[in-house]
Amino acid sequence: MEEQKVKIGLIGLGTVGTGVVKVLKDFANIEIVKIAVKNLNKKRDIENLDESILTNNPFEIVNNPELDIVVEVIGGVDPAYDLLKTAILNGKHIVTANKELLAKKGQELFALANEKNTVILYEAAIAGGIPIIMPIKTTLTGNKIHKIEAILNGTTNYILTKMEREGVSYEEVLKEAQALGYAETDPTGDVEGYDSAYKIATLATIALNQRVDINKIYREGITKISAKDMKFAKELGYKIKLIALAKLTEENKTDVRVHPMLVSVKDCLAAINGVTNSVVLEGFPVGRVMFAGPGAGMFPTASSVLGDILAIAKSIGSNDILPLMKCSHTINAQQTDINETINKYYIAVTASNTPGVIGCIGEICGRHNISLASVLQKGIDEKNTADIVVITEACKESNIKSAIKELKENSNILNINNLIRVME
């Protein structure tokens, strides 16, 4: 008896959509019935593409009663939200790579999918080709995950890696990354941390089992990182990475944020270079586990989309399709304000070459209950100033901000060059 084909509609035929079409050609049980595109006349890099299945009206897909699965790879909230909501109301299963949509509208879409007994799978939305959602929901489902440390954006990791290895400025590497296609013409979404924030919002919700609000995630990008910061960090035994962090506090609150961090060269995340992504989970009983691989790209992302399509295809007809993969979060996380967090800090200042200036820095920090772990002073320049870098012991964010305010008011401190948190 011939296996019945699972019929899908694809919304978007850009880089990822093209990859999806190419990999699905090897699966006889999957039929792409319709593909929605912006421009019907655009030349496509797909051999033997049947152009009769193309449409510039995506609602033809979500309202098509023939389809089992709608695959969305266009990104953004508008029109993706209306399209997927309509598809779910029409009983379609969803596969999406849309991290922004999940972060902003996921709660509503997941609730609607549960009501309609459909499933939303989104492996490609978090870490490209790295399998992370399915393992958390299945193999690791018996674990109490309490911490996530992740590099979730290839563009920023490429820039920081290049700065560290070649000693060049952020601006110089950004131009190169744009020329190579690693960075967008407008790189704001990547370099200011929005992309990573969208991803950690959903990942933290799944792993910590509490619904995280994207609007309460502290976010800071990499645009203030200098070649000097890279050099000083290296001398102190660190690399600088854009880290997406999520952890449970002792009070069972969630601490979720995205910002640059000094990462010890001994830590596994320090070895994640270039456009590679990585997710490290800590929990019980598993301990500490690491997932690493390509975080973007045509075929790595298509791999995750394909896995989701096949998982649904094998389960179609079940009374309760893929129950482990459905959203079951009922608790809204109590998210910790950044000012209440406890961190170690890297502080880089330019100071007058005055006797006692390092002691002055120590005294100011001490007045705000901050102890210094290490101090690095670099040579005197022609203006008789010196670069001084300190690493603090763990202290409260609000205290470090008060200390920085007082340092700025001190006549011996000419400039606060940077303040970067240190990963423990």
Supply the residues annotated as catalytic: 199
Neighbour tally for 234: CB within 10 Å: 15
CA–CA separation, 351 vs 29, rounded Å? 68
CA distance 223 to 369: 29
> Can you tell me the distance from the alpha carbon of 344 to that of 401, in angstroms, rounded to the nearest whole number?
13
Which pairs from 310-314 meet CB under 8 Å and 24+ separation? 310/27, 310/30, 311/121, 311/134, 312/6, 312/68, 312/69, 312/93, 312/95, 312/119, 312/121, 313/6, 313/29, 313/30, 313/68, 313/69
d(CA 10, CA 96): 10
CB 68 within 8 A of CB 119: no
Separation CA 351–CA 355 (nearest Å): 11
DSSP reduced 3-state for 223: coil
DSSP strand E in 27-118: where? 30-36, 54-55, 69-72, 93-96
In sequence order, the β-bridge partners of residue 289 are 281
SS3 78: coil
Contact 193, 306 (CB under 8 A): no
Phi, psi of 303 (to 5 degrees): -60, -45
Using the structure block, give the residue that is written with the tokens 């997941």. 110
In eight-state DSSP terms, residue 229 is H
* Residue 87, burial from CB neighbour count under 10 angstroms (0-12, 13-18, 19+): buried
d(CA 411, CA 82): 57
- Rounded to 5 degrees, φ, ψ at 59 are -70, -20
Give me the helices (H) in 246-369, please. Answer: 298-315, 357-367
Distance, in Å, from the CA atom of 158 to the CA atom of 276, rounded to the nearest integer, reads: 8
